Amino acid sequence: MKKLVKEYTHFRKNYNFKSLPLEKNENGIFFQGELVEDENHKVGESEKFINIGYNFKNSKSRVLSNLYPLSFTFRGKKVKSIEGVLQGSKYQDKRIQNLILKYSGLDAYHTRACNTDDYWGDNMLLYWQGKKMERDGEEYQLFLDELYVSALSNPIYKRALLATSDKYLLHHIGKENTNETVLTRGEFEYRLNTLREFVKKK
């Protein structure tokens, strides 16, 4: 696993990934001229993109969501979803973190309600088994690399990723500021798109 993570990190840093912007006007939100969201609905897939999100009916959108129930092993821990790890990283207390690793879906997402008294964004520190990581530091980016590569050990995740073909993997509801989220829209799209290209070449 360590070798694979190292290979992916090298690939990611050297891959010429271009983050594509969203366009907003009075008619809604658009991606390269295609509708993403208007007042009536949100689009899960088009000719150009797959919009990642747990609430979409589109299967690829759901399976590639961080919230999707996806059992795999990460750093020796059996986890239930990517989201559980991301939410767990907000807690210095290893006991609480290990509990959150067992959650998936919206249950994992809503565990964030537990960190209002010691909100991670106040000092921009995250944790793994009691060890600190700076939210904007390189160590945390390597942590994310390892997390997503580890998820590939679940064949459902890997096959879903490859099934997206060459469409841009979009997450239009993602936040942009690092002090508001442990994974910005840009970080998520960067990782998912480069991860797919990495897997294709393996």
Please state the pTM of the whole predicted model.
0.95
In this prediction, residues 79-87 reach a mean pLDDT of 97
Q: What was the pLDDT predicted at 202?
A: 79
Phi, psi dihedrals of residue 61, rounded to the nearest 5°: -60, -40
How far apart, in whole angstroms, are the C-alpha atoms of residue 107 and residue 98?
A: 15
Element (H, E) at 201: helix 185-201
Q: Which two tokens stand for residue 194?
A: 């480069």
Domain range annotation of the chain: 2-201
How far apart, in whole angstroms, are the C-alpha atoms of residue 120 and residue 182?
A: 9
Q: What was the pLDDT predicted at 79?
A: 98
**103-154 pLDDT tens trace:** 999 999 999 888 888 789 899 999 999 999 999 999 999 999 999 999 999 9
3-state DSSP helix/strand/coil percent for the chain, to nearest 5?
Answer: 40, 15, 40
At residue 166, the 3 state secondary structure works out as coil
In this prediction, residues 77-96 reach a mean pLDDT of 96
- Nearest Cα neighbor of 145 from 92, 105, 192, 182 is 192
Determine contact, residues 140/187, Cβ cutoff 8 Å: no
* Angle of the 155-162 helix axis to the 185-201 helix axis, nearest 10: 90
Strands 168-170 and 49-51 come out as: parallel
**3-62 pLDDT tens trace:** 999 999 999 999 999 889 999 999 999 999 999 999 999 999 999 999 999 999 999 999
2-201: CATH superfamily: YbiA-like (1.10.357.40)
Q: What was the pLDDT predicted at 114?
A: 86
